[in-house]
Amino acid sequence: MENDELTTNGTIKTDNSKKVLIICNIVLLVAVVLLYIFHFAGVGTRSLSNPDAKPAMVKEDGVLKIAYVNVDSLNANYTYIKDLEKDLNAYKNGKENSLKQQMQKLQNDAKALQDEYQNYLKTGDQLTLSQQQAKEADLKKREGEINQRAEKLSSLEQEYAAQVAERHATENEKMLNAVYAFIREYNAANQQFDLILAKTGKELPLILYGNEAMDITEEIVNGLNEEYKSLKKNNETEKK
C-alpha cells in the first residue's frame, strides 16, 4: 500500500493501474502523431523539419501507384547478368590459372634445385675444393632467387584477388546503373508509377507482402533483355 495513491474520487489507484494508464497515454499519443502525419501528408504539406522538402506525391483521387520488382527473378532471368557472371568467372579463372602455372613452375624449379643439391652431397668428393665452393655458391644463389619468386607470387596472389574484386564491383555498378536507367525510362513511357520497390528473398526482405497484381518483374526483365539483345547485336555488327 506504500506505493498506492488516492484518486480524486476517493478510490485507490495501484501501481498496476498506473502502468495501464501510462501505456494508454502512450498509445493515444502515437495515434495522435500518426493522424497528424497522415492528415498533412494527404494535403501535400511540406515537412516542418525541412522547409525545402518536396511535398508527398498523392494523386487527386488519393491513390498512390506502387509496383515492385522481384530481384531474385531479375537476377535469374536477365541475360546481361548471366553473361556478366560468365565474363567475371572467366576473368577470375584466367588470373587463377596464371598464378597456378607460375606456382607450378616455381615448385618444379625448387624440386630440381633440391635434387641437384642432394646429388652434390653424394658426388661432392669428386670435386676440388674450388669447384665445391663454386657449386655451393651457385646453389645458394639459385635458392635465394627461388625464395624471391615465392615472395613475389604471394604478393601477386593478393594483387590478383584485389583486381578480381575491383572488376566485380565495377561491372556490378554498371549493371545496376543500366537497370535503374531502364526502369526510369520504362516508367516514364508506360505506367508511370509513383513508387517502384525491390522485393528480395526472405533473408533480408524489403517487402513483407505484395499483391501479385503489383509485380512488374516479368515486363521489366523482358524489356531489359530486349535492350541487351539489341546492344549485343549492334556490337557484333561493329566488330565485323
Q: Quote the CA–CA distance of 39 and 163 in Å, as a whole number.
A: 53
pTM to 2 decimal places:
0.59
Residue 123 phi/psi, 5° resolution? -115, 10
- pLDDT given for residue 45 in this prediction: 35
Out of 16-25, 101-110, 157-166, 200-209, which region has the weakest mean confidence (pLDDT)?
A: 16-25
Q: Quote the CA–CA distance of 38 and 71 in Å, as a whole number.
A: 30
More confident residue, 34 or 118: 118
For the chain, first and last CA: distance in Å? 94
Question: What does the block give as the cell for 158?
Answer: 593478393
Helix (H) / strand (E) element for 6: namely: strand 5-6
pLDDT tens figures, 156-166: 999 999 999 99
More confident residue, 122 or 90: 90
Could you state, in order of their start, the residue ranges of all structural domains in the chain?
5-56, 69-239
SS3 4: coil
pLDDT tens figures, 203-217: 666 665 667 778 888
DSSP annotation of 11 reads -
Give the Cα-Cα-Cα angle 90, 163, 83 (nearest 5 degrees): 30
- pLDDT given for residue 37 in this prediction: 32
215: closest CA among 86, 68, 114? 68
78: closest CA among 218, 181, 174? 218
